[in-house]
Amino acid sequence: MSVLNGKKILLGVSGGIAAYKTASLVRLFIKAGAHIQVIMTPASKDFVTPLTLSTLSKNPVHSTFFNQDDEDAVWNNHVELGLWADLMLIAPATANTLSKMATGNCDNLLIATYLSAKCPVYFAPAMDLDMYKHPSTLSSFAALKQFGNVMIPAESGELASGLSGEGRMAEPENIIAFLEADLESKLPLKGKKILITAGPTYEAIDPVRFIGNHSSGKMGFDIANEAAKLGAQVILVAGPTHFKVKNSLVEVVNVVSAQEMYDACHSCYNQVDVAIAAAAVADYRPKVVASQKIKKAADEFTIELEKTKDILASLGVIKKDQFLIGFALETENEIENAKLKIQKKNLDLIVLNSLQDEGAGFKKETNKVTFIDKDFKIEPMELKSKESVAVDILNKVISHFSKL
């Protein structure tokens, strides 16, 4: 999966012959799973039509501060456009547009949006050889880099003038590759390996029946997906669940029982930097598993249970430098029980759930958690979607490594 998947990208197109390449560029962004809005300078419409880019991007194309053909004169809000984007790319960036960006000469919607943008800005220059090397252009490059913008270098080849040399806008495929590489290099969990457990475990009574719980696995899968987006390599040990992951950075190990989950976690624990135990592991299992289906006969039936191995505690015992996070689902004395679990299992952080909180618990789209760290600092959170809770958990991981 591309790091561009799900990203909101604002593409600024200025008036150079290379503007014709933006049709291919937009298609590649869409193929990567990005959401695109396009802003064109008036001059760029001489090289590629707004209809083409609107059709490919599946969004209206913006060019002026208001639509002159619209009787209501609806304003194209450059501030909203700038705030919407996760990143802005100006391609092609002509000498004229680069100069305006560098000096703040705000005479069109593209420059106004650029000046309002809070997101990272990339620019792909496109111009003739001598223009590319002119001192004024070099000065624009230097100023924009100093502002924190990222330049996608022009390529060498045949130019529109008939000359051959540096100045061609990078090919769309190369722009995509540049953006992916640059974004990946800046991901906060790049180079980290994370073990995550998710879902329930099923403990067999006979070939048909089992002891289990109501965990859906959503919380663990949301953490895994978010960790992969942040650049981590993820090992997801999942009990029986219908959830799937599509990110190539997530390796799923499917298990059924607590013993299988224990074995899978221990097989990779010494390789990981972080372990997040979000699974709802059965505390007990039948001491004897019937080899055949148990027939309904007696009015009463007794199953003798034995404890399963405590996966989280066992990881705490052998912990070296790993950042170990556990979950606690409590119904009473929540804070006290969670603190005891931190001590008994050698945890760095615990994510406390209470079934007393409406909207929290199993088979819910939301969760309400309280973070408690090993120093017993307590941080209650608001009710949020499980995706947002996953972000909060991984922000704790990022904060931990930023202090090392």
- Amino acid at position 227, single letter: A
Structural domain includes residue 304: yes
- Is 348 a member of any domain? yes
Q: Are residues 209 and 179 in the same domain?
A: no
Question: How many CB atoms within 10 Å of residue 327?
Answer: 22
Residues 55 and 175 in one domain: yes
**Given this model, what pLDDT does residue 274 score?**
98
Q: Which of 151, 166, 185 is the last residue of a domain?
A: 185
Under DSSP, the state recorded for 262 is H
Query: Residue with structure tokens 């080849």?
Result: 157
0.95 exceeded by the pTM?
A: no
Buried b (16+ CB within 10 A) or exposed e, 156-190: eeebeeeeebbbbbbbbeebbebbeeebeeeeebe
Q: Are 238 and 255 in contact (CB under 8 A)?
A: yes
> Are residues 238 and 204 located together in one domain of the fold?
yes
Q: Are 201 and 258 in contact (CB under 8 A)?
A: yes
2 found inside a domain: no
In terms of domains, do 257 and 394 share one? yes
Element (H, E) at 123: strand 121-125
223 and 114 in a single domain? The answer is no
* Gap between the Cα atoms of 318 and 208, Å rounded: 36
Domain annotation covers residue 3:
no
Where b means 16+ CB within 10 Å and e means fewer, 36-54 reads: bbbbbbebbbebbebeebb
Q: Is residue 354 helix, strand or coil?
A: strand
| Integer Cα distance of 192 and 99 in angstroms | 40
Q: In terms of Cα–Cα distance, which of 218, 265, 252 is closest to 390?
A: 218
**What is the sign, positive or negative, of the torsion defined by CA atoms of 92, 95, 96, 98?**
positive
Q: Is residue 1 part of a domain?
A: no
Whether residue 92 is preceded by a cis peptide bond, meaning omega within 30 degrees of 0, is: yes
Same domain, 166 and 201: no
**What DSSP assignment string belongs to 184-236?**
HHT-TTTT-EEEEEESB--EESSSS-EE-----SHHHHHHHHHHHHTT-EEEE
* pLDDT of res. 207: 95
How many structural domains are present in the chain? 2
Same domain, 204 and 168: no
CATH number at residue 319: 3.40.50.10300
Q: How many angstroms separate the CA atoms of 57 and 59, rounded? A: 5
Residue at token pair 């590629």: 48
Residues 234 and 365 in one domain: yes
pLDDT at 331: 73
The residue segments making up the domain with residue 49 are 8-185
d(CA 221, CA 389): 12
**Token reading at 40:** 């064109």
Q: Which of 185, 205, 225 is the last residue of a domain?
A: 185
Burial class of residue 381 (count of CB atoms within 10 Å of its CB; 0-12, 13-18, 19+): middle
Question: How do 233-238 and 193-198 pair as beta strands?
Answer: parallel
- Return the H-helix or E-strand segment holding 254: strand 250-254
Q: Say if CB 300 and CB 252 are below 8 A apart.
A: no
Residue closest to 120 by CA, chosen among 95, 145, 155, 141: 145
Q: What is the pLDDT of residue 403?
A: 87
Whether residue 357 lies inside any domain: the answer is yes
Catalytic, 213? Answer yes
Asked if residue 211 and residue 157 are part of one domain, the reply reads no
User: Given 185, 207, 238, which residue is the final one in a domain?
Assistant: 185
103 within some domain = yes
Look at residue 363 and tell me if it is in a domain. yes
Answer yes or no: do 114 and 48 share one domain.
yes
Q: Spell out the per-residue pLDDT of the chain, length 404, in tens.
A: 788 988 999 999 999 999 999 999 999 999 999 999 999 999 999 999 999 999 999 999 998 876 666 555 556 678 888 899 999 999 999 999 999 999 999 999 999 999 999 999 999 999 999 999 999 999 999 999 999 999 999 999 888 878 788 889 999 999 999 999 999 999 999 999 999 999 999 999 999 999 999 999 999 999 999 999 999 999 999 999 999 887 888 999 999 999 999 999 999 999 999 999 999 999 999 999 999 999 988 888 899 999 999 999 999 999 999 999 999 987 788 899 999 999 999 999 999 986 666 766 666 788 889 999 999 999 999 999 999 999 999 999 999 999 88
Same domain, 243 and 368: yes
Q: Classify residue 77 as exposed, middle or buried by CB count within 10 Å of its CB (0-12, 13-18, 19+).
A: middle
- The three-state DSSP-derived secondary structure of 278-306 is CCECCCEEECCCCCCCCCCCCCCCCCCEE
Q: Domain containing 114 — which CATH number?
A: 3.40.50.1950
Examine the domain organization and report whether 87 and 228 are in the same domain.
Answer: no
Candidate list 96, 213, 247, 346, residue with the active-site label: 213
CB under 8 Å to 142, separation ≥6 — which residues?
A: none
pLDDT of residue 162: 81
